Structure formats: C-alpha cells, structure tokens
Structure 1
C-alpha cells in the first residue's frame, strides 16, 4: 500500500499522470474489500496515505536545507512528519468504508468519506489543504482550462470526489476485465454487463462534464469595469540572501529599477490620449511576499515608501509584501498598499500561517519557529484602494484554501496574491502552489495576479486561463491588463457547502440497499 500511495502522487501537478490512479486506487479498494476487519482496513488506508503525502510533499525538505547548519537534525521531518500527520485522513475513510457491504457500495463509502476528510484538513493546526486530488485536473494549457471548469460549481473538493470515484470504479472495472478469466479473490464487477455499465457511466459523466465546461467557456462573459494594469515584480532574490540579511541595499535598488521598467511598460498599454473614447486603466505594481531583507523598513521609513512610489511615476498604487511589527510586538506577514505619495492606505495581515514555518503548534516542545511564530490576521478582506477596483489581497499559502479566499460580504473585482516559493527550490512545490492559484480563479470567477519572488509570477482570468507568466528563476517584470470579473459562480455563492453535501450524499448512497428483481415483481 505504501508504494501504491507514492505512485498516486504522480497524478498531481506538475506530472498530471492521471491514468496511474486507475492502477493504484483499485488496489487500495481491493484491500478494503478483503480486509477481515476495520483495523486492517485502517492500516491499509494509513499506509496508502503515508506514501501518498510523503511523495507529493518531498520538496518540503528544501526549506530546511537553506538553514541546514542550524536545523540539520530536522531534515527528515518535514515531508515524513507531515505525511505521518496526514495519513489518518486516509485511514479514517478506509475504516468507515467497512460500514458498507463489500463490493461497489464500499467503494462509494470510501470515495465520499475520502473527500469529506480531505476537506477536513482545513482544521489541522492552521490548516493544510495542500494537493487535493482535484488539482490533478489543472493540467497546463487548454486541456486543463476545460477540465477545471466544474470547479465553478462544486469547487476543487467536488473535482476530488469525481477523481476518486472515477479512479475506483473505472479502475476496478478495467482490472476486472483484465482478470475476467481468473479466479482473483477481489473482483468488484465479475459480470461483463456490469463492467459495460460502469464504462458507460464513466464516459457519460466525462462527456457531460466536458459539454458543461465548453458551454460555460462560451456563454459566460465578464461584467463591469475591467481590472487594472498589473505590474508583477519578480526580484529573484535567493532565500539565502534574505535569511542572512545580505545585500539589502542592492536588493532594494533592484526592485526599484524593475518597478520603474514595469510601470513604463504599463503606460505603453494605455490607449492613446487622442482617441475620442480613450479610457485609461489604473496601474498597480506588486512586490512579492517579504520582498527584501530589513524586517520593518517600510513600516518605519516614510522616506523608503516615498522612494518606491517616486520610482513608479503614474502608478495609482503599490502592493508591497513585507514583515511588520504590531502594537503588541508580534511579527506579521503582511501586504502594504502604498498611495502615490507613499502613505500606507491599507494593511492586510496573513491569516493562514504555515504550520511549523510561521506557526508553531503549542504542543511542540522544541523551539522550531523563531520567537514562537507570527501573529495571524483576521481573515479575507476586500481593499477599496483609491483609484483601483476593489481587490482581495492574499499572502502566499492562503490561496490554497478553497472557499476561504474572498470576503463573501464584500466581493472584490480581482485578487492580488504575493508569495515567495524560493524556500522550496525549483521543485514540484511551486507548481503545486500554482495550481491552487488557478483553481481559486475558477471557483471565484475572479482574475488573479500573482507576484512571486523567484517565480512563477502569473496572471489568470476568471476561467483560470493563463494570461501571462514569468518563469522560475528569472529576474524581471510581468505586465498584464486584467479583464473584468465574471458573474459570481455557484461555488462563490455557496462555498464548500455544495461539495460537502455531494460527498455526504455519495457516502450515504453506499447504504441504500438495491431492490432485487423478485422484490420488484412482488414474488
């Protein structure tokens, strides 16, 4: 089971090898079907989950290696420790599936409970909903654009439910067909007609999903004013320089020059002033999370803030990722909105802190996070910055939380995400993070601009279609005109309630006893 879980991680970004699930999940389903009791089933699920999470979170070790001389003893723990914590989220559904009769109904119970427990990861510590299986559908390019559109109705958790159902039932039917002439102890659909029905359902669901996606892509249109011209500044500062507080003046100067160049490009995108109906767009530039060394420079230095805005003539605002110290002396990971005169017009403090990175659970006896971690902000906000359409700021990891990224009482017109994936190197981690950005755009129907320190800086429209990107490890600016927002999709209105109810319905369907032919005829 350990190996099957690890192989399943190949379905996730950036590999997107979805067919592997047709092999691995039926083998897990077979183990659940033949386990003598719930404890054996739970162990099978735990091993599968441990392998799955250890493989897809391997890159976490890169963050420790940056400070290996200080935390060398902690190197084995990030990936394996997270996998150990998350394995019960698969063990519990495996145990619960034993409540349903063996066979296809047990697969239903497992698929429904897998998704419910996967959604429950939002309650682990400060939350860790990284890599839901639905993100496997966020394949780069047009194929992914089509596959992820149902997230507008059922979110990534709904996609996860259908991926697990498809893997279990489609894979079981396929493997049963291969083993049709053997006496294999685990056959879910021994009769050919049952396998054909499953195949027909599989094809029908895919067909309906693709048709609905195409209809949405061609029938839903942006409404209201367009978004701003966003200048995404990618300083590409090595994390060792930031941690060691090396070359802060050079890094600050680099950001100033990049900003000036990007804002100049943005002005060239404005319509010519001699056009009779010319309407200029506001210009905003984004610096990544904790842009440069010097913890509270922007908070304490009006001169530094004025200097930044002086290097961006004509920009309506600048969003700067920076650390700040609150009135209680606690550090906060924040975004500051600067007006053209350098005044701070809005502050957003990161609400969801990274466990063991920015936030240390109180039961950990060793001091892992400096000073016990940061203070968390109050949650999703909408900024009404003068001159700009209403915007929802997000810092780094917050973008992975489906249904929790937007203030539902004050819906923004676009999202601004500042992040720093430099901790994790040129690995799967930044690409997995990127898939979350794309899925949030679809779920909320909002364009999103993302400025990342070492990349990947990117912009998506409300369909999750890529508008522009600046790749990993490059220094430069990305200038993009953001479109208007789409009408609020179903998921944006009801959030995770819909996928939760859908998953619960699938779980309960496992306990509906089908009527036999003799009962139907009254015999």
Structure 2
C-alpha cells in the first residue's frame, strides 16, 4: 500500500475496527452478526432509526472479509438474517396467543422457524458476495445487488413474503418515497442497501476516493431522491383540491379484540357495534366501509342478514364490508356444474340499501397457517382462524364496481404488501381498498409495518388507497402517499372523508413494473465489474 493510500485519523480507527471484526471466529462472529441483524430492524416502521443500517451492514461486510469458506460465508449471512427477521417479525408470534391454550406452544417455533427460513436468503446473499473474487467497492456493490435480488425472490417464491423490504425504512419521508412512483420499492430497497453498506469502504485500504467515494455517491443519490420528491410534491394538487365529487366515505374502526371476535355469545354484539357506529349522524355520507371479516356470519345462512346490512347503506351508495363466504357442497360453480365440495372464502361484499349484493370479491393471497395449512397432509396442526376448514383462494386481482363510487381494487389483509400485484392491469381501477384485521398482532410494530407497505402501493400505482382495519390503523392516503386522515391503533371511532382522485396518467412503475429495477441491478453489477478492473 502506498503512502498516499494509508488511512489516517478516523479512517485508521475504522480500519482497526474492520480488522477486529474480520478477525472474529466461532460463536463470537455469529453472535455479533445476529445482533447486527437485529439492530438493522430498528430502521423499519414505526421506529425509523435509519442510521442504524450503517453500522449493521458495514459491520456485516467487515466480518465477511474474515470468512475463509463457503460454509462460513453462508452461516454468517444466515445469523445476520436470523436477528434481522426475528426482530422485525416478532409480532407474528402474538397471533398464537389469541387462543393461547391451543396455539401458544407454537409461538417460539413459529417465530424462530419463520426467521430461520427467511434467513436462508441472507445466507445466500453473503455467500454470493464472498464467492465473487472482488473486494472493496466491488464487493459492496455485489452485496447490494444480491440482497435486492434475494428480496425480490423472497417476495415471489411459493406464495411470496415481501414483508419489511428495506426501502420501507423511508416511509417517514413523503419526499423520498415519491421515487417508488418511478421504480418501485424494490429499487428503493436496492439503493438503501447500497447506502447502508457504502461506508464499509472506510474500513478498507485504498485511495481516498476508494474509501470515501461510495459513501459520497450514496449521499448524493438520496439527496437527489429527496429533492426530486420535494419537487414532485410541490407540483402536486394540494390535499383536498382534487377529490372525487359526490363521494364521502365513512370508515368504521370498531376495535373488536380478536379474543372475542368469534365467540358465539359476542358475535351479535360485535355486529351491532358496527351498525351503531355506521348510523352516527354525518353530512353527505355515501358509502360505509367495514374491515375484514367485520360480519361474523355467513350471508347465505342468515335469512335477514342482507337486509340488516343494507339498512346502513346510504341511498345511492353501498356498504363495503368484509365477511366470510361459504359455498355449500353441490352449489353451482359458475360453469354450469357443481363443485362437489364445501368451500370457504375470505370475501368483500358491496351491499346495496335493499340488501342486494352489488359486487363480490374473494381473497386470493391467503396467509399460510392463518387461513390454510400448507402441507396439511404431513403437518398435524390447525389454522389460526376460527373453524377447521381451510379457506379457498379467489381467482386473483379484480376491479369491483359498486353504486355511486368509482371502480376500485379490493385488497384483503396482507394482499396490500405485494408490489405490482394489487390490481388488474386490464381493468384498471380508480382507487385501492384495503380491508384488514390486525387485531391478531395487538399493540406491536406489525400494524405500523402493514400500513407503511400499503401506503407505498398508492405511490407506486398513482392511486389513492383507503385502508379500514378492525383495531387500526385505518387511513385515507392520496395518490402521492400523503395521509389525508387516520384512526390510531387500538382506538374505536369513525373517519368521514372524501375520496381522493387518481393521477391522470400512469406512473412509470405502473407502466413498466420491475423493468427499471432489473436495469438498476444490472447497472450495479456492471459498475462492480468496472471497479474491480480499476483495483
């Protein structure tokens, strides 16, 4: 190393730290990786401690420099992922205590199993970054690209689980999240991982540019994203100046605890609570919206239920509500025959004032172990939701038309977290409706993460999103991701609100999908190769 390349001052201090971390072996290496992974989860909603990503990811890269085998590289990343996913998704375990006598024993196995399974992806990431014979800046770029590819695969493989993508760490910034209208959350996550790992170069030897350049480029990138986002918002219509005329929604957040939601002696009272809140005086209400499975009965089995529900639907409008739907054995299957079995669906109905069903949607992205048990022929466990019958999946995203309101795309529960898969592009809606029941997760980070992810879909698609949750957080979000109103977690109340308009034109992400993200991944790898040649 030449004299000009010898780091001094703070650079020398960081290089000594990097060398110490690279020198860790055995359980100390894995324990630190797990701690760094858990630390990185603090950047996610609702904490938003974004700066912690730098020591977490830079520390991981420094540790990777000391790995001497493929197995060691994979296990290091797996340990980091175990901490990251366990800390970021701990709230999944709370659902198992809703019926603690039956499912409580499964909680530690579920959280550990989920985190350990997802950590396989981070293990592959560190293995890929280690296996490429490029160090320094090139390894940083390869790591960022590999992390982003693994996250994309995680979001699509099997049923997909794109929860806690690192780009959601910017959800606190209206300006930065505008970039998702251009290239989606996948690309924002790629840039976030690069920015978090770029300071690792300060712990490597090399010229001043090679040590400080990556961090400088990352800072300029996000300064550009923030500036572009502020300009976009400055040219957007002011909130309230671009609403759909003649539409006023009432969001009903009844705050029914999950422990009593399906109790037989509580079901009628839970329904009456929704009815009472819907009938509160209000000016010009055209549509009432209830959350996922707000109605604890089957419409087809309760003769007067449709009329009761229709009694709160405003004239010329509708009640939009989640409720379970059952197709009895031998019922018509829509093809002229019968299905020969009983099928259960998690559905959304549009109920007219007279009790007629104006539109119907069946959830298609079901929650494993929540709504069905995968590999049920081998796993002797029941699903967490009430009843023994697994839910069946609907046909996929569709656009519903209800009286008095523009066409909308219904999203039940976590269907709102899947980028690029929240609507039918051949029948594009004017807004997104997300009904959910986050009561399963109590006062945890889960509902905040769910809201943040759903909000990004509004920006990506250029469509307003209305979110109605049983225990919160219910919200109205415009096509720029701006919060127009909300009901906080674990509160009971109603929110009367206009419906914001959609953007006049498709966003680049809505038009091109993940093409821009794929291009950025290719560019990142190309720059990594070019940086290697200049070493």
In structure 2, what is the equivalent of residue 109 of structure 1? Answer: 142
TM-score of the two chains, using structure 2 as the length reference: 0.86
Q: Which residue of 2 aligns with 1:18?
A: 50
**What secondary structure does 1:267 align onto?**
coil
Runs (5+) with no aligned partner, structure 2: 1-32, 332-340
1:167 matched to 2:201? The reply is: no
The aligned residue for residue 520 of structure 1 is: none
The residue correspondences of 1:225-264 to structure 2 (distance < 5 A) are 225=244, 228-261=247-280, 264=281
- Residue 244 of structure 2 contacts residue 499 of structure 2 at CA under 8 Å; is this kept in 1? no
Which piece of structure 1 moves more, 412-421 or 298-307?
298-307
Residue number in structure 2 paired with 1:339: 352
2:510 aligned partner: 492
Q: 1:441 to 1:227 in 2, by over 3 A?
A: farther
C-alpha distance in 1 between matches for 2:109 and 2:175: 38
Q: Do 1:172 and 1:189's aligned partners in 2 also have CA atoms closer than 8 Å? A: no
Which range moved further: 506-515 or 72-81? 506-515
2:217 aligned with 1:201: yes
Q: Which has the higher contact order (CA 8 A, sep 6+)?
A: 1
CA deviations on 1:207-250 (whole Å, 9 max, x unpaired) are: 21112112211234598955832211111111111233332221
SS in 2 for 1:393: strand
Q: 1:462 aligns with which of 464, 474, 479?
A: 479
Following superposition, which runs of at least 4 residues in structure 1 exceed 4 angstroms of deviation? Answer: 220-227, 513-517
For 1:105 and 1:514, the matched residues in 2 are separated by 6
Cα offsets for 1:63-122 (capped at 9, x unmatched): 101111112321212211110110111111111112241211111111101111101113
Judging changes above 3 Å, is the alpha-carbon distance between structure 1 residues 226 and 489 closer, same or farther for their aligned structure 2 residues? farther
**Cα distance in structure 1, aligned partners of 2:264 and 2:488:** 25
Is it true that 1:446 corresponds to 2:463 in the alignment? yes
Point out the more displaced range, 120-129 or 10-19: 120-129
Distance 1:303 1:372 in 2: 25
Query: Is residue 294 of structure 2 the alignment partner of residue 291 of structure 1?
Result: yes
Give the conservation status (yes or no) of the 8 Å contact 2:415–2:422. yes
Aligned pairs, how many? 482
2:70 aligns with 38
Give the aligned partner of residue 81 of structure 1: 113
Give yes or no for the alignment of 1:60 onto 2:92.
Answer: yes
Deviation at 1:386, TM superposition (A): 3.1
Counterparts of 1:341 and 1:266, CA distance in 2: 21
Displacement after TM superposition at 1:373 (Å): 2.2
| Displacement after TM superposition at 1:41 (Å) | 1.0
Secondary structure of the residue that 1:431 maps to in structure 2?
A: helix
Instruction: Name the counterpart of 1:416.
Output: 433
- TM-score, normalised relative to structure 1: 0.88
DSSP 3-state at the match of 1:319: strand
Secondary structure (helix, strand or coil) at the match of 1:232 reads strand
Residues 364-513 of structure 1 mapped to structure 2, 5 A cutoff: 364-369=378-383, 371=388, 373-486=390-503, 487-512=505-530
Root mean square deviation, CA, Å? 2.0
* 1:188 has 2:204 as partner: yes
- Rounded to whole Å, the distance in 2 between the matches of 1:100 and 1:480 is 57
> Is the CA contact 1:127–1:352 (under 8 Å) kept in the aligned structure 2?
no
Q: 1:25 to 1:360 in 2, by over 3 A?
A: same
What are the superposed Cα offsets for residues 24-68 of structure 1, whole Å, 9 maximum, x if unpaired?
101111122331132211111110011100111111111101111
Aligned partner of residue 123 in structure 1, secondary structure: coil
Q: Distance in 1 between matches of 2:206 and 2:431?
A: 52
- Secondary structure class of the residue paired with 2:388: helix
Q: 1:384 offset after TM fit, Å?
A: 2.1
Conserved 8 A contact 1:152-1:490: yes
What SS does the corresponding residue of 2:501 show, helix, strand or coil?
coil
